[in-house]
Amino acid sequence: MVNLLNSKRAVMDLTLKLVLGLFAFGIIILFAYIFLSNFISRITATSLSSAQMVQTGNDFLGTILLFDKLVVFIMVAGIIGVGYLGFRTIKPRVFFIFTIFGAVFMGLVSYIFNYTFAQYATNAAITVAAAFFPLTIIVCTNLHWVSLAGIVIGSLTMYAKKDEISEFRR
């Protein structure tokens, strides 16, 4: 019997990868902004910097702010990907019951990631960077809803389609 979490055809596995990816990407974005803004401010404080270096550093920080919108794109693309891969696979409908029970587990795991990200983002050193990334904060503090959307869309596309095998037996 194929394990539900380790199967390449499981909705739970794809949703867990989506939640973990969004969580990691959100933390990396905030850390990268803090690191680069401190690096640029330290370089500009030295006598070695020029006006062109300061302008380049500020333009680079402005480009990093585009990653805020990239998080939303990754979330939407991931949910669509879960739905598409759920549609492309054939799985017995009895696994839907396991998916319902697994959704409770995924909600708990997603909430733990929500809490961890919220504690990370409310740190005094991080709150300055968090103000520049409002969409990332919204997505990463609501990972349980992203998980629910992935499970619902993946389950609907996987289990609500007609069985192709029964079409040929008629």
In terms of Cβ atoms closer than 10 Å to its own Cβ (0-12, 13-18, 19+), residue 108 is exposed
What was the pLDDT predicted at 166? 46
In terms of Cβ atoms closer than 10 Å to its own Cβ (0-12, 13-18, 19+), residue 79 is buried
What was the pLDDT predicted at 168? 44
- Percent of the chain scored above 90 by pLDDT? 24
For residue 117, give both structure tokens: 């990200």
What was the pLDDT predicted at 14? 85
What was the pLDDT predicted at 169? 45
Q: How confident is the model over 121-145, as a mean pLDDT? A: 87
**What rounded mean pLDDT belongs to the chain?**
83
Does the predicted model carry a pTM greater than 0.75? Answer: yes
Are the beta carbons of 128 and 14 closer than 8 angstroms?
no
**Domain spans of the chain?**
11-161
Q: Which helix (H) or strand (E) holds 137?
A: helix 134-140
10-46 pLDDT tens trace = 788 888 889 999 999 999 999 989 988 888 888 888 8
Question: 71: pLDDT confidence band, cut at 50, 70 and 90?
Answer: very high
What was the pLDDT predicted at 69? 92
Question: 79: pLDDT confidence band, cut at 50, 70 and 90?
Answer: very high
